[in-house]
């Protein structure tokens, strides 16, 4: 009598190693980001995926508190195979965990900012790259505080429909002011920073280069990538990707959609084209599932983070 074939268990998010592929069916199993194991132990990790379910700073439609859940759920389509466009399984080269979500004191907005910064700083202190799933764009401010404390002043590469340089007063909790606040605090190297896809008018540029949507469309993917590389140079940088950089046709699930943005294909090609920049961390923000259709927005957002992890894996291979 032959022995029954032993099949690997599913629920890799609980049972799997911190490295290597998962075997969960796409439609089943515990949903972590790309099936990475849930763990608070980040020692030895190359990257840590972390959710910040915060939407108390929005100026229009709320719902981004559900962004991390949606991004994790749709990311199940990625794991277990070689990934496009690198054609490698990044988890054969990277040790990555899903750290879960930040616990936020909802009744204390300044306390939320402190909680985000403190937990991010603890993760970054391990030496791992932090990939953050938002959440509205305010979260980038405390994330920058934590990253700059570790790495020094950073250039930002910001894909966005909005410059987020409005002035709601010093210390404001707003997703439309985080860039101005970060500049005031000396976190951003403005001479090396660039905002891409802008198609609204803000009161100030803060000495950051603005590559608006019409100019970006005229340049094309290669031209945009060249402009970003020229601006940022070889120094350390931070990538912040607001999903409303995409046109609402490709990302309807966001709080402040603006027509005239990038397609998901264009945006992903741009992110891939700048993969050799010295990024020290990244976030994907403003995914708002209540306004999404067929998970289109979440799928695009998850692909941005997936591309970033692929790029880290390629860099790991060349060390």
Tell me, yes or no, whether 309 lies in a domain. yes
pLDDT band at 317 (very low <50, low <70, confident <90, very high): low
8 occurs within a structural domain: no
The pLDDT confidence band at residue 2, using thresholds 50, 70 and 90, is low
Percentage of residues in the chain having pLDDT higher than 90 = 84
Residue 55 located in a structural domain: yes
Determine contact, residues 134/62, Cβ cutoff 8 Å. no
Query: Is 240 a domain residue?
Result: yes
> What's the CA gap between 174 and 139, in Å, rounded?
9
**CB burial class (10 A; 0-12, 13-18, 19+) of residue 110?**
exposed
What is the rounded distance in angstroms from the CA atom of residue 37 to the CA atom of residue 34? 9
Given a cut of 60, whether residue 262 has pLDDT beyond it is: yes
Does residue 1 lie within any of the structural domains?
Answer: no
Whether 4 is covered by a domain: the verdict is no
Range of the domain at 150: 13-317
Q: How confident is the model at residue 47 (pLDDT cuts 50, 70, 90)?
A: very high
> How many structural domains compose the chain?
1
User: What average pLDDT does the segment 114-128 reach?
Assistant: 98
CATH code at position 200: 3.40.800.10
Does residue 6 fall inside a structural domain? no
Q: Is residue 84 part of a domain?
A: yes
Question: Given a cut of 70, is residue 318 above it in pLDDT?
Answer: no
Q: What is the pLDDT of residues 166-208, one digit of tens each?
A: 998 887 888 889 999 999 999 999 999 999 999 999 989 999 9
| Strand ordering across the sheet containing 155-159 | 37-38, 96-101, 47-52, 129-134, 278-285, 236-242, 155-159, 194-198, 209-212
């Amino acid at each position: 009598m032959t022995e029954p074939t032993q099949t690997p268990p599913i629920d890799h998010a609980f049972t799997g190693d911190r490295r290597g592929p998962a075997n969960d069916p796409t439609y089943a199993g515990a949903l972590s980001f790309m099936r990475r194991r849930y763990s608070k132990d980040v020692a030895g990790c190359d990257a840590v995926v972390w959710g910040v379910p915060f939407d108390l700073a929005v100026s229009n439609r709320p719902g981004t508190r559900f962004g991390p859940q949606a991004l994790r759920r749709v990311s199940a389509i990625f794991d277990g195979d070689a990934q496009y466009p690198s054609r490698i399984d990044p988890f054969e080269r990277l040790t990555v965990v899903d750290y879960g979500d930040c616990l936020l004191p909802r009744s204390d907005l300044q306390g939320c900012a402190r909680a985000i910064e403190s937990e991010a700083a603890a993760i970054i202190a391990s030496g791992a790259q932090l990939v953050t799933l938002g959440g509205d764009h305010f979260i980038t401010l405390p994330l920058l505080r934590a990253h700059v404390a570790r790495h020094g002043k950073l250039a930002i590469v910001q894909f966005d429909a909005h410059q987020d340089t409005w002035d709601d007063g010093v210390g404001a909790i707003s997703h439309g002011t985080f860039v101005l606040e970060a500049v005031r605090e000396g976190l951003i190297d403005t001479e090396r920073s660039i905002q891409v896809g802008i198609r609204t008018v803000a009161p100030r540029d803060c000495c950051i280069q603005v590559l608006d949507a019409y100019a970006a469309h005229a340049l094309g993917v290669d031209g945009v990538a060249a402009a970003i590389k020229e601006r940022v140079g070889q120094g350390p940088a931070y990538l912040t990707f607001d999903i409303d950089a995409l046109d609402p046709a490709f990302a309807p699930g966001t709080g402040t959609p603006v027509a005239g943005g990038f397609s998901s294909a264009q945006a992903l090609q741009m992110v891939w084209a700048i993969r050799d920049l010295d990024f020290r961390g990244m976030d994907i923000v403003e995914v708002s599932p209540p306004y999404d259709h067929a998970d289109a927005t979440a799928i695009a957002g998850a692909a941005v983070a997936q591309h970033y992890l692929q790029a880290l894996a390629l860099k790991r291979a060349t060390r």
